[in-house]
Amino acid sequence: MLTDLDATFAALADPTRRAILARLATGEATVTELAVPFAMSQPAVSKHLRVLERAGLVSRGRDAQRRPCRLEAGPLREATAWLAAYRDHWAERYQRLDALLDELCSTEEGRDGAGGTAR
């Protein structure tokens, strides 16, 4: 069984689905409207939308004959929160590496300045 986070990342793994989400971030769109920039059929776009719906990233409404799709940002917030812990971890590692490199450069400069010979 996939967890919600697994479903989110699986849905985001495909560049077409990411492009669909980017388009929906600007506002609602129908399947026909979403298919325009892609070299694929409406049924193919519908398959991508089903994956996004199962992940909770997209919902479909009904407006008379129109069935607009809309972005649901909740799962993206959860994925961002999960990634934030790793971002913080690596930021701390890079800060420690920077400090070590600064220390090594200072030590090297001190060595070169104190006992160096004139050229």
| Structural Rg of the chain based on CA atoms | 25
| DSSP E strand boundaries for the chain | 58-60, 69-71
Are 42 and 95 contained in the same domain? no
Are 44 and 82 contained in the same domain? no
Residue 119 has pLDDT above 50, yes or no: no
Are 80 and 110 contained in the same domain? yes
In a 3-state reduction of DSSP, which class is residue 91? helix
Return the structure tokens found at 88.
């913080």
| Amino acid (1-letter code) at residue 61 | G
Contact 45, 34 (CB under 8 A): yes
Q: Residue 23: how many CB atoms within 10 A of its CB?
A: 16
Q: What is the CATH number of the domain that holds 32?
A: 1.10.10.10
- How many structural domains compose the chain? 2
Return the structure tokens found at 6.
């697994």
Instruction: Average the pLDDT over 59-85 and give the result.
Output: 89
Whole-structure pTM value = 0.72
Residue 114's pLDDT band, with cuts at 50, 70 and 90, is: low
Q: Which domain holds residue 14?
A: 4-72
